Amino acid sequence: MSKFDPYEHLKIIKNQDGTLTRLMKIPQLPATGDVDLLPGQTVVSKDVTLDATKNTWVRIFRPVKIPSNDNKIARLPLVIYFHAGGWINFQVSDRVNHETMNKLAFEVPVIAVAVNYRLAPETRLPGQYDDAMDALNWVKKQATDPNGEPWITEYVDFSRVFLYGTSCGANIVLHTALRVINQDISPLTIAGIILCEPFIGGKKRTRSELKMAADLLFPLPVIDLLWELALPNGTDRDHRFCNPLADQQVKKKMEKLGRCLVIGFGGDPLIDRQQELVQMMVMQGVVVEARFDDVGFHGIEIVDPKRADAILSFVKEFIL
């Protein structure tokens, strides 16, 4: 591992001003917008600016056919989604994220709002949590504005709002849910949070981290570098943003979390921490559904469609 270069592994170059040059080219998909539908199209999508000063935005997904009850259009659950990417990469227009939201919106069905939050190290934590709260407050505003975004005002059941994140996105969901406890977001009600392969850490190595230190996809030097790039300057991996398990205030606030779904895989170096998180939640009285599979690795859903479908089925069951 001494000759291992995590920058090369991540395909990034750190510039003198602290920014990154990202060499990975990710296929992009545009939103459909309000255009004539293509044959067989099941989901439409649109982009909406969240905060122009921060260059943040959301992509909204809705099924073409909204279910109806007694000839009245049904109101659907709302899922606010935060993508993976180790804090430093990806956006909601990436093909994998776009297609994941398409499937979620159609198959559950839901209205999905995928948040294009700012990336590190150009924006360090808690900037991403701030962006998440901006998204939640934007939805709240639409709920009370007669001239709000029609896909939100006309189709969303505001009593069934779910926060869903993958990897670092799951970290964002956890900390956002903890923030919301002390805020009035009515008429929204958080009906549950979904943490898929949550990206959490700490200075002391766990058994799974040591066992998989040289993991081909997610080795320890890469994990450490991602935290180094994301955490506030002058802090370490025992900061509560990284290690919520070591923070007593976080632990106490967890007792006020609602329903929670946690998904993880045995080949993920973070699996021990994820299971410890579940144990802490249970001890604090949180209603937790844990879906851990011994087979699989961090980010497996990107390359294994069957595992992606399994995750979707877990999420669907949890929402409905």
Query: Which residues are marked as active site?
Result: 167, 268, 298
User: CB of 112 within 8 A of CB of 139?
Assistant: no
The answer for 85, left when phi > 0, alpha when psi is -120 to 50, beta otherwise, is left
Helix axes 168-180, 127-144, angle to 10 degrees: 60
Sign of CA dihedral 238, 242, 247, 249: positive
Alpha-carbon gap, residue 145 to 149, rounded angstroms: 8
Percent helix, strand, coil in the chain (nearest 5)? Answer: 35, 20, 40
The answer for 18, left when phi > 0, alpha when psi is -120 to 50, beta otherwise, is left
Alpha-carbon gap, residue 315 to 165, rounded angstroms: 11
For residue 26, the Cα-to-chain-centroid distance in whole angstroms is 18
